[in-house]
Structure 1
Amino acid sequence: MITLEEQLKNPVWHSLNETHKKFAIEINGVRFYNPEVCPFGSFEDKCKTKVASNEYVQNIQEFFYVSENQTPEIDEEKIELLKKIDGCQMVLNQLTNVEITEKIVPLSKEMMDEIYDLVWLVMPGYYRKRTYEMGNYFGIFKDGKLVSVTGQRMQTDQFIEVSAVVTHPDYTRQGLARQLIAHTTKEILQEGKKPILHTNKGNLAISLYEKLGFELTRDMNWWLYRKL
C-alpha cells in the first residue's frame, strides 16, 4: 500500500489513481483531469510530459502541471509557459476548536452556477463548473445570497484537500472562511482521512490556516501552460 506521505508528494497523480479515477485521462504515462472538471495534470517521469501535453491541449487552452520539484518538459513550438506559481502544501496537525456561529449548509448541484460565479469573482483561474463534482461543498448565505464557500478537491483513500476557500469582498472580516474551513475539516476527519490544503507561498491566509492547526510541509508548484 502506498503511504500517505508518498501520496502527498504527488497528490494529483494519486487522486486520479483512486477516488477521482473516473475523471482521469492518461496520455503517455501522464495523468490529467477531464478538462471540464479540473485543469490539472501530473506525472512521475518529466520526460513523458512533452508528448502528453501536445495531445491534452487539443481539448483545453490552458492547464497546470502540479509538481513538488520536477520541471515538466514541453514542446515550445506548440505550448508556452505563462507562469510558475510557487505554492506550498499544508497538512492538518490538530484542529483548533472553532466556535461555529454561522449557519453552514451543504451546497447542492443546483448551486453550481452560484459557486462558480463566487469563486471566479474572488479567485479566478482554477475552478470549473464541474469542479463541484470533485467533493463536498459548503456555504454561508447572507441577505439571501451565497457569500462564502469552502469545498473539497483532490482526494484519495487517505487524504482530502480543502479548497475553494472564498468569501465575497462585501462580507470579509466576519470569520466566515474560518468557520467554513473548520467545518469542512471536521467533515474530512469524520471520514477518517487527513485534511490538507494548498496555497501560494506568502499568502496572508497561511497564518489563518496555521491558527486552525495546519502546518507547512512541502513545496507544491503550479506550472501554467497555454496552447500556442
Structure 2
Amino acid sequence: MADRDAHPLDDPVGASLRGRHAHLARRLGDAVAYRQDVATFCSVPADPDERAWADLARLLGPGELADLFSLPATPPPDWEPVFSVEGRRLIWPGGPPPAGSGEVAELGDDSVPEMLDLVARTRPGPFWPRTREMGVYLGVFDGGKLVAMAGERLRPPGWTEISAVCTAPEARGRGHAARLVGALVSRVLARGDRPFLHVAEANTGAIALYERLGFRTRGPVTFRGFRTP
C-alpha cells in the first residue's frame, strides 16, 4: 500500500516512472527503470523487500548499473557499490520567475548530436540519446553552434526537474545558464508545476547561481549507484 504521507520528491524517479514518464519506463514486479537510452535511473518501493531487489536485478540484467538516484534504501550485500555523491535538492519557493533577456531555442531531435557533444565536453550529469524525450530542452546558439543548454528531466506529480544545465567553456561568463534556467522556470510555472533541481554539494558555483535566481534548498540528498549481481 502506498504511503499517504509520502511526498513526490521523496522518490522523484519512481513517482515519474509510475506517472508522467510511464511511456519511458521498463517494469518488472515492484521494480521500475527508465529505458536504457533515456536514463540510468531506477527505483523500488520504499522499504523494499528481497523480492523487490530481485525484480530490479532481473529487470536491469546481471552486472548492470542500478542508478538509485536519491533513493535511501540500500540493496543487498552482493550489489557492488559504484558511486556515492553528496548533493542537495533545491525547489522554487513561489513567486514570479526570474527576469531574463536574450533568445533561447527549443531543441528537437535534430539537435541531439550537438547536445551529446556539448554534454561530453561539459559533463553536467547523465545524458543519453533519448534523454531529450523527458521534457523540453532549450539551447543558446552562437554562430550556428550550440554553446549552452538546459532542460527538463524528472516529472513527479506537480513538479518538474530542471537539469543538464551546461555551457561550453568558450561561452562561459555570458549569462547563458541563468537565461536558460529562467526560461525553463517560466515554462514550468505556466503549466502549473513547481520547478526543482539537484546539484552536487561540491558544485558551489552552480549552487550560488541557483540561489541567486531564487531557488531554495529543500534538503540534502545522496546519489548512489550499484552494480547488480
* Shared fold (TM-score, shorter chain, > 0.5): yes
Retained in 2: the 8 A contact 1:41–1:65? yes
The one-letter code of the counterpart of 1:188 is V
Evaluate the alpha carbon distance shift between residue 60 and residue 178 of structure 1 in structure 2; reply closer, same or farther with a 3 A threshold.
farther
Evaluate the alpha carbon distance shift between residue 134 and residue 42 of structure 1 in structure 2; reply closer, same or farther with a 3 A threshold.
same
Cα RMSD (Å): 2.4
Match of 1:36, SS state, is coil
The superposition leaves residues 131-158 of structure 1 with CA deviations (integer Å, 9 ceiling, x where unpaired) of 0100000000012200000100000341
Shift, 1:7, TM fit:
0.3
Evaluate the alpha carbon distance shift between residue 223 and residue 173 of structure 1 in structure 2; reply closer, same or farther with a 3 A threshold.
same
The superposition leaves residues 30-78 of structure 1 with CA deviations (integer Å, 9 ceiling, x where unpaired) of 221111111001122333453134223328843410235332x1352xx
1:23 corresponds to:
24
Larger strand proportion of the pair: 1
Shift, 1:2, TM fit:
8.8
Greater Cα offset, 39-48 or 180-189: 39-48
1:179 corresponds to:
179
Q: How does 1:56-205 map to 2 (within 5 A)?
A: 56-58=59-61, 61-71=64-74, 73-74=75-76, 76=78, 79-94=79-94, 95=96, 97-100=98-101, 102-123=102-123, 126-204=126-204, 205=206
Retained in 2: the 8 A contact 1:28–1:51? no
Match of 1:38, SS state, is coil
1:207 corresponds to:
208
Evaluate the alpha carbon distance shift between residue 23 and residue 75 of structure 1 in structure 2; reply closer, same or farther with a 3 A threshold.
farther
The TM-score normalised by the length of structure 1 is 0.89
2:47 corresponds to:
45
Evaluate the alpha carbon distance shift between residue 35 and residue 21 of structure 1 in structure 2; reply closer, same or farther with a 3 A threshold.
same
Retained in 1: the 8 A contact 2:151–2:162? yes
Q: Structure 1: which 5+ runs fail to align?
A: none
Aligned length: 224
The TM-score normalised by the length of structure 2 is 0.88
Q: Structure 2: which 5+ runs fail to align?
A: none
Evaluate the alpha carbon distance shift between residue 4 and residue 220 of structure 1 in structure 2; reply closer, same or farther with a 3 A threshold.
farther
